[in-house]
A = this chain, B = another copy of it.
Amino acid sequence: MDLNSDLGEGFGQWTLGDDDALLGVVTSANVACGFHASDASIMLRVCAKAVESGVAIGAQVGYRDLPGFGRRFIDMEPAALTADVVYQLGALEAFARIAGDRVRYVKPHGALYNAIVHHEEQAAAVVAAVVAYDRTLPVLGLPGSVFLAQAAAAGLTTVAEAFADRAYTPEGTLVSRRLDGAVLHDPAEIARRCVAMATGDLIADVDGGPLVLTPESICVHGDTPGAVEIARQVREALTTAGVTVAPFAP
C-alpha cells in the first residue's frame, strides 16, 4: 500500500505542515508546484529530501491562485488550464531530475481536485496536459470521478486513492465536510480503517453499514494538528498487519 501526502505547501517566508517529518512516513509526496503553494526554493529542497528518503515525487497541480491556496474554483478556459498544468509539470520535473529522480505521477489539488470529479471540460483539460507531457505518468484521484474515467479512456494509468481520515457514504463517496462526522480524529480508528482498506476488509460507512474500499493509495494529511502522528500510526499499523508500505509508482 502507498501512503501519499501533500508536501511543499509553504510559500516564501511562510511554512505549512512538517515536510521533513512526513517524508519519514509517507511513500509518495504530492509536491506543490508554485501555482497555489510552494516556490522554487521549496521545491528544490523537498525534491532533494524526497529522493534521499526514497519517497516518490508527484506533481500536485492546481489553479494559479496563491491568495486562495488553490481552494477556490476558477472557471478558466480548458486550453489555459492544460497549459497551466503542463507548466507546473515541467517546473517540478526540473527539480526532480536535479535530485536524481523524476516526476512519478500527477495529483490535482484542492478546488481543481474537487471540480474534476464532475467538471468534464476541466477534467479533459488536465488529462490533455498529462497526455501531451508524458502519457506514461499515472494520475492519482478519486474513484468514480470523471477525471479518472477520462484519464483511463485516454490510456493513462489511473490510481484510486482513499482518505485515511474521512467518512464515506454507503455508496463509497466522501461525506461532505459540511456534515458532522465527515472527518475522523481518533488515530487508532483511522489506523484500523487503513489496515482494512489495505487488506480488503470491511470498514464502517457513515451510517455504520459495511463498506469495502480498494484504494491503491491512502492519502494522509500533514497540515493539521496531530497529522504527522496519525500518519505514523497508520504506517505502523499497516506494517504490523503485514502490509508492505511502498510507492505505487514504479
- Using CB atoms and an 8 Å cutoff, list the residues of chain A in contact with chain B: 10-16, 34, 37, 39-41, 43-44, 64-69, 71-77, 79-80, 82-84, 86-95, 97-98, 111, 132-133
Contacts and interface: CB of A to CB of B under 8 A. Distances in A.
* Shortest beta-carbon contacts, A-B, top 4: A90-B94, A14-B14, A40-B83, A40-B87
13 contacts: A11-B14, A12-B67, A12-B68, A13-B69, A40-B84, A41-B80, A65-B65, A68-B80, A72-B75, A86-B94, A90-B90, A90-B97, A97-B133
A109 to B, nearest CB: 12
Contacts of A10: 14
| Number of copies of this kind of chain in the complex | 4
A136 to B, nearest CB: 14
Given A11-B66, A91-B91, 11 more contacts: A11-B14, A39-B87, A40-B83, A40-B84, A41-B79, A41-B80, A44-B86, A66-B66, A74-B74, A87-B95, A93-B93
A84 to B, nearest CB: 5
A41 B15 CA distance: 19
B133 A94 contact: yes
A125 to B, nearest CB: 12
A106 B84 CA distance: 22
Contacts of A64: 67
